Amino acid sequence: MITSNADAFSMLIDKAAWEHLIQGVRICRGSPRVSHLFFREDSILFAKATLQEFSKVAYIISKYERASSQKVNLSKTEVVFSRNVGADRRQEIIDILGVREVARHEKYLGLPTIIGRSKKAVFACLKERIWKKLQGCKEKLLSKPGKEIMIKVVAQAIPSYMMSIFKIPDGLIDEIHALFARFWWGSNDTVRKLH
């Protein structure tokens, strides 16, 4: 049986989790523990902030590198700690792994990782991206069918990825619809047209 490198790395982490050498994280009480998540070219590891667990993580990375003849790029590797971890412990763990600490990841795969109370502020980038795209084309040079294609194919596609994962605030959707109407009817910041 031939396994991919990701499968081999996953097996090493699973073995350590099975042997309770890595705790992982629980989403809620009674749920199974998650020790790692893999995406296309990224890996997210979850461990308790102890020297023993991070020594084991460092050992797994080293073992994986020797077995696969691939090198993990530690300059692109980051660690995020919970607020309960003291500064001394953080520094010890960073020294063990040879990585850098970040307060939090703002975005992953183009999506926000943390959404606070103000959802409108988080998703405001959608409105900006749509308006830039609509402003980028010369609306005076487009016919009505050209504008329709621009709205339906280009502008409406921008929020679809984010909307497939998050519920966008209704007020922001109304503002996006207003942008489409302004583009369709030819209104701009100086001239308002009725529709």
Same domain, 83 and 22: yes
Q: Are 151 and 177 in contact (CB under 8 A)?
A: no
Angle between helices 119-136 and 170-185 (to 10 degrees): 10
Domain termination site, one of 103, 137, 159:
103
pLDDT of residue 116: 65
Distances (CA, A) of 179 to 47, 104, 129, 145, 160: 45, 32, 11, 17, 16
Same domain, 53 and 13: yes
Q: Is residue 73 part of a domain?
A: yes
Same domain, 64 and 122: no
Q: Is residue 123 part of a domain?
A: yes
* pLDDT above 80 (res 172): yes
Q: Is residue 61 part of a domain?
A: yes
Q: What is the mean pLDDT of the chain?
A: 79
Q: Give pTM, 2 decimals.
A: 0.57
* pLDDT above 70 (res 31): yes
pLDDT of residue 181: 84
Domain termination site, one of 103, 121, 140:
103
Residue with more model confidence, 4 or 189: 4
The structural domain count of the chain equals: 2
- Hey, what amino acid is at 39? F
Residue 29's Cβ-count burial label (10 Å; 0-12, 13-18, 19+) is exposed
Q: How far apart are CA 137 and CA 77, in angstroms?
A: 39
Per mean pLDDT, which range of 15-24, 26-35, 161-170 is the poorest?
Answer: 161-170
* pLDDT above 80 (res 72): yes
pLDDT of residue 1: 40
Q: Are 130 and 153 in contact (CB under 8 A)?
A: no
Q: Is residue 36 part of a domain?
A: yes
Instruction: Give the mean pLDDT of 85-111.
Output: 80
Q: How far apart are CA 187 and CA 181, in angstroms?
A: 8
Same domain, 32 and 49: yes
Range of the domain at 117: 111-185
Same domain, 146 and 117: yes
> Percentage of residues in the chain with pLDDT exceeding 90?
1
* pLDDT above 80 (res 179): yes
Instruction: Count Cα atoms within 13 angstroms, Cβ side, for 130.
Output: 26
pLDDT of residue 195: 52
Q: Which residues, other chains included, contact 106 with Cβ-Cβ below 8 Å and sequence gap of 6+? A: 112, 113, 114
Residue with more model confidence, 11 or 116: 11
